[in-house]
């Protein structure tokens, strides 16, 4: 009997492991949360440029959530509940500033980037799903970059102070070897 772990499955049913199923469910949940937050915050935007950036992000989030829904349905994974179709308010609150909205969207995008990168790293049994997650990660980085550039243009990004780096000192190891000698081992 010839057994190999490298042969493809002969069954027609595509299989995934528990971590991949969790990754798909978690990314779909995160996209739903981003859609709801973006729709809500878009109501309070004062700057038309920020509104255009948020609309672009929402369009990408919607497209990606639809693709994730199709994958979840195909793999028979119960998806989290969908967000509202659209959130509209009739009031404008001046206390919610564009800077606050930017920082909120920036924080959400950063947390989703972590979730996407974790999903790419931990999806090991299904290459097709992993490629989909990788495509989403690349798209997300591009979206994050456009949001970041907008915030930088507005002067809302704070940069940490630059410090001079110190020269590397040779540290002895038990009084006999320096770091250069340790690198040889």
Q: What H or E segment, with its residue span, contains residue 66?
A: helix 48-74
Per-residue pLDDT, 152: 92
DSSP 81: P
Domains of the chain: 18-182 (1.20.1260.10)
Residue predicted with more confidence, 71 or 173: 71
Per-residue pLDDT, 61: 94
End-to-end Cα, the chain, rounded Å: 45
CA angle 109, 113, 114 (to 5 degrees): 125
Collapse the DSSP code of 88 into the 3-class scheme (helix H, G, I; strand E, B; otherwise coil) and give the result.
Answer: coil
Least confident of 12-16, 56-60, 93-97, 107-111: 12-16
Q: pTM to 2 decimals?
A: 0.74
| Token code pair at residue 147 | 């949001």
Does residue 14 contact residue 75 with C-beta atoms inside 8 Å?
Answer: yes
Express as a percent the part of the chain with pLDDT over 90.
52
Per-residue pLDDT, 33: 92
pLDDT for 54-91, tens place per residue?
Answer: 999 999 999 999 999 999 999 888 887 776 666 666 66
């Amino acid at each position: 009997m010839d057994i190999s772990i490298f042969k493809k499955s002969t069954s027609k049913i595509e299989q995934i492991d528990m971590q991949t199923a969790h990754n798909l469910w978690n990314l779909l949940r995160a996209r739903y949360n981003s859609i709801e937050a973006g729709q809500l915050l878009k109501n309070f935007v004062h700057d038309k440029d920020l509104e255009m950036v948020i609309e672009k992000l929402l369009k990408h989030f919607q497209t990606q959530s639809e693709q994730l829904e199709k994958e979840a349905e195909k793999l028979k994974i119960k998806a989290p509940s969908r967000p509202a179709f659209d959130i509209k308010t009739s009031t404008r609150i001046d206390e919610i500033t564009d800077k606050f909205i930017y920082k909120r969207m920036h924080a959400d995008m950063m947390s989703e980037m972590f979730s996407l990168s974790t999903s790419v790293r931990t999806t090991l049994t299904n290459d097709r799903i992993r490629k989909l997650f990788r495509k989403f990660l690349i798209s997300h980085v591009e979206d994050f970059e456009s949001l970041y550039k907008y915030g930088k243009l507005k002067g809302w990004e704070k940069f940490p102070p630059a410090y001079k780096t110190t020269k590397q000192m040779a540290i002895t190891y038990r009084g006999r070897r320096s770091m250069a000698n340790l690198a040889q081992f």
